[in-house]
């Protein structure tokens, strides 16, 4: 599938929250469930997205994707193999997505054909958390390779997220990672946060993320 | 948690660069070799630092450390076990260290007792690369768990670094990672970059990083 690409200039930034509200209203109008995947570089956002989209497609739930990267089209190329509409946003250096980029991205999508919109933010555990996009759910993708103390070291990301996908659990035997402590630290930072341990490699527990999405679709 | 937000304007960079020059002059005056470790959250900066400092101590090379984190003192506590002077800087939300923070950090250290100053930047593969600190060497700590394409996705970080420590090579058997491609992508982004594959867990090749530091000390 052809990848649509948008170059975003730095002067587009501004009135972010206002545009985020507009984005949110537009998504509500089209009854689209939206999720913003954030996390460190290489935490596995794209792999999880690939597996999740495959499973949603099997259930005839249509998806759209807005891919945010500083440079390149690696991730959108991977997603486009799945034959879902994908828009690549290159931030040109900026360390996060902003509401205007999502607005421009949505203009490239046929919204009435989409039930679930995924945003994959720039790989960064800090800055993306500071910018509202108008996307309903913030999902942190954390990798066990990052260490269990990250919720305490990067509290804002965990505070603004409703869900954590704790990724790469297939490596639990190879890596010193204290899952119980991770849960404890994440809950300390955000008592309401939901955590699903998954593997973007083996597909373990991805069904639980799909279940979460289907539940949210029902209460939309 | 209150977020300190930084608007990145020309003036800020201008002032930052000026302070960075002052830092650089101060370090030259005291004949201190300085290295700024940057990389994603959990790439292994602190583990490498621990091993390196241990080895430098054995050689009677005195070290000092400035630890940058958004919140908490996890890393400085780990370093302080090694009985080296360490200053913790909490950025209070900011996604990177700036020259003024290094200046304040150095004020807390007895500079004439230090031969090598390490700065551990905030875990972030994007923003720290944008701010000059006055530190001589930029070192990117990359983990093989992040994937081999990161030099192309985060080009600025690799452009401003003289050295890459490609970490977690102990996991090479457990993880799909194309080392050759990583080298190729890193060299494409920065042809002069030096890459040392290491393990912060087993200590493999940390000696090569120590050798690098000793070589730079000789030519100071």
Give the tens place of pLDDT for each residue, B79-99: 999 999 999 999 988 999 999
CB contact under 8 A, B143 and A42: yes
pLDDT given for residue B13 in this prediction: 73
From chain A, pick out residues whose CB is under 8 angstroms from the CB of B124: 95, 124-127
What rounded mean pLDDT belongs to chain A?
94
Whether B74 and A150 have beta carbons less than 8 Å apart is answered as no
**Residue A88: exposure state from Cβ atoms within 10 A (0-12, 13-18, ≥19):** buried
**How far B192 CA sits from the closest chain A CA (Å)?**
21
What rounded mean pLDDT belongs to chain B?
93
How far apart are the C-alpha atoms of B50 and A4, rounded to whole Å?
45
Whether A203 and A23 have beta carbons less than 8 Å apart is answered as no
> Is A160 touching B (CB cutoff 8 A)?
no
**Mean pLDDT lowest for which of A43-52, A135-144, B5-14, B150-159?**
B5-14
Residue A95, pLDDT > 80, answer: yes
**How far A42 CA sits from the closest chain B CA (Å)?**
4
In this structure, the strands spanning A33-38 and B137-143 are unpaired
Residue A83, pLDDT > 80, answer: yes
- Count CB neighbours of B217 within 10 A: 16
pLDDT given for residue A1 in this prediction: 55
pLDDT given for residue B1 in this prediction: 35
From chain B, pick out residues whose CB is under 8 angstroms from the CB of A155: 1, 70-71
Tell me the torsion sign for CA atoms B118, B121, B124, B129.
Answer: negative
Residue B38, pLDDT > 60, answer: yes
Alpha-carbon distance values, A106 to A109, A111, A114, A119, B133 (Å): 5, 7, 11, 10, 39
Alpha-carbon distance values, B107 to A47, A95, B11, B36, B97 (Å): 45, 30, 24, 17, 16
Residue B6, pLDDT > 80, answer: no
Q: Which residue has the tokens 């201008």?
A: B14
Question: What is the rounded average pLDDT of the residues B193-213?
Answer: 98
How far apart are the C-alpha atoms of A24 and A18, rounded to whole Å?
10
The total number of residues shown for chain A amounts to 220
Q: Which of A83, A30, A38, A31 lies closest to A56, judged by CA? A: A83
Q: Which residue has the tokens 């000793």?
A: B214
Residue A11, pLDDT > 50, answer: no
Q: Confidence band (pLDDT; 50, 70, 90) for B3? A: very low
Q: Max CA-CA distance within chain B?
A: 48
DSSP assignment of B25-89: HHHHHTT-EEEEEE-STTSSHHHHHHHHHHHHHHTT--EEEEEEESS--HHHHHHHTTT--EEEE
Residue A8, pLDDT > 60, answer: no
**How far A49 CA sits from the closest chain B CA (Å)?**
16
**How far A90 CA sits from the closest chain B CA (Å)?**
10
Structure tokens at A70: 């500083």
CB contact under 8 A, B155 and A71: yes
Structure tokens at B148: 């081999």
Which of B71, B124, B174 has its CB closest to that of A171? Answer: B174
CB contact under 8 A, B125 and A126: no
Residue B22, pLDDT > 60, answer: yes
Q: Confidence band (pLDDT; 50, 70, 90) for B220? A: confident
CB contact under 8 A, B153 and A72: yes
To the nearest whole percent, how much of chain B has pLDDT over 70? 95
Residue A12, pLDDT > 50, answer: no
CA B72 to chain CA centroid, nearest Å: 18
pLDDT given for residue A15 in this prediction: 84
Question: What is the rounded average pLDDT of the residues B101-121?
Answer: 97
Residue B101, pLDDT > 60, answer: yes
pLDDT given for residue B28 in this prediction: 98
Residue A13, pLDDT > 70, answer: no
Bridge partners of A33, per DSSP, are A116
pLDDT given for residue A4 in this prediction: 62
Q: Confidence band (pLDDT; 50, 70, 90) for A133? A: very high
Q: Max CA-CA distance within chain A?
A: 47
To the nearest whole percent, how much of chain A has pLDDT over 90? 91
> Is A69 touching B (CB cutoff 8 A)?
yes
Q: Confidence band (pLDDT; 50, 70, 90) for A61? A: very high
Which residues between 137 and 156 in chain A have a beta carbon less than 8 angstroms from any beta carbon of chain B?
143, 145-147, 149-150, 152-156
Residue B199, pLDDT > 60, answer: yes
Bridge partners of B138, per DSSP, are B36
pLDDT given for residue A5 in this prediction: 57
Question: What is the rounded average pLDDT of the residues B61-75?
Answer: 94
**How far A32 CA sits from the closest chain B CA (Å)?**
29
pLDDT given for residue A205 in this prediction: 98
């Amino acid at each position: 599938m052809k990848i649509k690409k948008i170059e975003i200039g730095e002067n587009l930034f501004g009135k972010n929250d206002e545009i985020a509200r507009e984005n949110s209203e537009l998504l509500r109008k089209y009854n689209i469930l939206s999720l913003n995947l954030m996390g460190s570089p290489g935490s596995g956002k794209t792999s999880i997205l690939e597996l999740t989209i495959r499973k949603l497609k099997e259930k005839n739930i249509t998806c759209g994707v807005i891919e945010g990267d500083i440079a390149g089209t690696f991730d959108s190329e991977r997603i486009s193999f799945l034959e879902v509409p994908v828009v690549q946003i290159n931030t040109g250096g900026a360390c996060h997505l902003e509401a205007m980029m999502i607005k421009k991205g949505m203009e490239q999508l046929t919204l009435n054909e989409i039930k679930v919109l995924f945003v994959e933010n720039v790989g960064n555990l800090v800055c993306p958390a500071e910018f509202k996009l108008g996307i309903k759910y913030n999902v942190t993708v954390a990798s066990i390779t990052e260490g269990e103390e990250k919720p305490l070291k990067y509290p804002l990301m965990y505070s603004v997220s409703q869900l954590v996908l704790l990724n790469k659990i297939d490596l639990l035997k190879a890596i010193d990672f204290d899952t119980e402590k991770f849960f404890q630290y994440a809950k300390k930072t955000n008592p309401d946060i939901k955590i699903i341990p998954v593997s973007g490699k083996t597909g373990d527990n991805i069904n639980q993320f799909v279940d979460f999405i289907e539940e949210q679709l029902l209460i939309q």
